[in-house]
C-alpha cells in the first residue's frame, strides 16, 4: 500500500445551548482545527506534534481523542495499517467550543475519505463518541454531532444515538467571546449537582422544549424566553470571571439569550443579524476585558457543512 494523505478542517461547536444540557448543540463557521492524516504500510497509530504552534493536545494514544476514534474504526474494519495524525489547533482545548470533539470527528472523517468512504456519517458518529469520551470522561454528542453533521442538532437518545437536525433560521447569528484560559470538561462536570428538584426539572424541560419550538418556528422572542438554564450555568458561571456582567451586557445590546458554551469559558449570544451580532460582541468584550486581558470574539452564522476536505 502506497502512502496516502489528506487534509481536513473541523469546525467549532456550541453545546448545551442553555437548557439543552447534553442534548443540544450547533456548529459555527469558526475553524477549530486543521488535521493531516497519512496512511502508512507499517502498522500502528502515531500522533505527531503540532504544526507551527506549541503542543496543545495529548500525544498519549489512550487520551488523544483522534487516536481513540481511529483505533476503534480500524478495529471495526479489521485493518492492521499505519495511521499518522498531525493536528493544528485553531482553538485551544478547554475552550468550551468543542476542541476535543473536533479531533474526534476530523480523524475518522479523514480516514473514511482515504479508505473510500466505507462508513456513512451516522456510522462515524459512534467512533467520534468513543474519542470524545477519552477527553470528557463520558459519552455525550452535543459537540461531536453538530461538528460532524453541521447545523443545529438535538440528541433524543444515546443508546442507540437518535439525532434530529433542526431547521435553522437563515438570519440566526451567534456571537462568541472566548476568554483565553481553559476549563477541563471532566472537571466542569464534577461541580454539577447530582440531584435536582422536580420543580427545576419541570422548568428545565419546559425551557428546552420551548427553545426547540422557537428555533423551528423562527420565533426569536420565544428563544429569548427559553434560554434559562438551571443545571449548568449556576455552577459553571463561578469558573468564569465576570460572567453575569458579560451576560447582562449582551442582553442589553439586544441578544436573544446569552449563556455558557459547553463547560466554558466561552460564552455565546444569539441575535438576528450580523450587525447586531457584532454590536453584542463589542459589548461583551468591553466587560470581559476588565477581567481577562486577552479575549477573542467570533461572529458567525450556523455552519451547515460539517468537516471539509482542504486542498
The cell numbers describing 52, all together, are 507551527
Instruction: Give yes or no: 132 in active site.
Output: yes
* End-to-end CA separation in angstroms for the chain: 22
User: Which is the catalytic residue, given 34, 132, 233, 259?
Assistant: 132
What span, in angstroms and rounded, lies between the C-alpha atoms of 151 and 167?
8
What span, in angstroms and rounded, lies between the C-alpha atoms of 75 and 159?
21
> Which CA distances in Å does 209 have to 18, 25, 73, 249, 268?
11, 14, 35, 26, 20
Handedness of CA 234, 240, 244, 249 (dihedral sign): negative
Return the bridge partners of 85, or none.
37, 47
User: Which is the catalytic residue, given 13, 65, 175, 185?
Assistant: 185
Residues 6+ apart with CB under 8 A from 248: none
What span, in angstroms and rounded, lies between the C-alpha atoms of 264 and 178?
8
Instruction: Give yes or no: 202 in active site.
Output: no
Residues 245 and 266 sit within 8 Å (Cβ to Cβ): no
Residues 6+ apart with CB under 8 A from 90: 30, 31, 32, 33, 34
Q: Is beta strand 161-166 parallel, antiparallel or unpaired with respect to 152-158? A: antiparallel
Active-site positions read: 132, 185
Amino acid at each position: 500500500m502506497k502512502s496516502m494523505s489528506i487534509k481536513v478542517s473541523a469546525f467549532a461547536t456550541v453545546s448545551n445551548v442553555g437548557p439543552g444540557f447534553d442534548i443540544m448543540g450547533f456548529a459555527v463557521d469558526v475553524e477549530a482545527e486543521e488535521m493531516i492524516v497519512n496512511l502508512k504500510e507499517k502498522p500502528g497509530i502515531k500522533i505527531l506534534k503540532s504544526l507551527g504552534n506549541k503542543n496543545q493536545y495529548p500525544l498519549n494514544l489512550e487520551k488523544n481523542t483522534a487516536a481513540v476514534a481511529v483505533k476503534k474504526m480500524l478495529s471495526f474494519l479489521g485493518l492492521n495499517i499505519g495511521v499518522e495524525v498531525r493536528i493544528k489547533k485553531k482553538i485551544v482545548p478547554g475552550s468550551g467550543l468543542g476542541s476535543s470533539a473536533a479531533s474526534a470527528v476530523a480523524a475518522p472523517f479523514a480516514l473514511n475519505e482515504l479508505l473510500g468512504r466505507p462508513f456513512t456519517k451516522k456510522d462515524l458518529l459512534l467512533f467520534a463518541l468513543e474519542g470524545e469520551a477519552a477527553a470528557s470522561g463520558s459519552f455525550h454528542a452535543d459537540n461531536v454531532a453538530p461538528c460532524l453533521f453541521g447545523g443545529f442538532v438535538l440528541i433524543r437518545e444515546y443508546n442507540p444515538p437518535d439525532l434530529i437536525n433542526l431547521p435553522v433560521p437563515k438570519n440566526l447569528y451567534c456571537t462568541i467571546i472566548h476568554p483565553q484560559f481553559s476549563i477541563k470538561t471532566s472537571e466542569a462536570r464534577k461541580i454539577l449537582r447530582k440531584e435536582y428538584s422536580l420543580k427545576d426539572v419541570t422548568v428545565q424541560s419546559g425551557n428546552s422544549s420551548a427553545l426547540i419550538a422557537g428555533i423551528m418556528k423562527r420565533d426569536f422572542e420565544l428563544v429569548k424566553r427559553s434560554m434559562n438554564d438551571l443545571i449548568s450555568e449556576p455552577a459553571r458561571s463561578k469558573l468564569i470571571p465576570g460572567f453575569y456582567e458579560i451576560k447582562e451586557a449582551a442582553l442589553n445590546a439586544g441578544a436573544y439569550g446569552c449563556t455558557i458554551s459547553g463547560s466554558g469559558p466561552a460564552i455565546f449570544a444569539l441575535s438576528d443579524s450580523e450587525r447586531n451580532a457584532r454590536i453584542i460582541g463589542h459589548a461583551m468584550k468591553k466587560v470581559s476585558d476588565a477581567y481577562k486581558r486577552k479575549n477573542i470574539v467570533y461572529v458567525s452564522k450556523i455552519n451547515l457543512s460539517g468537516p471539509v476536505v482542504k486542498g
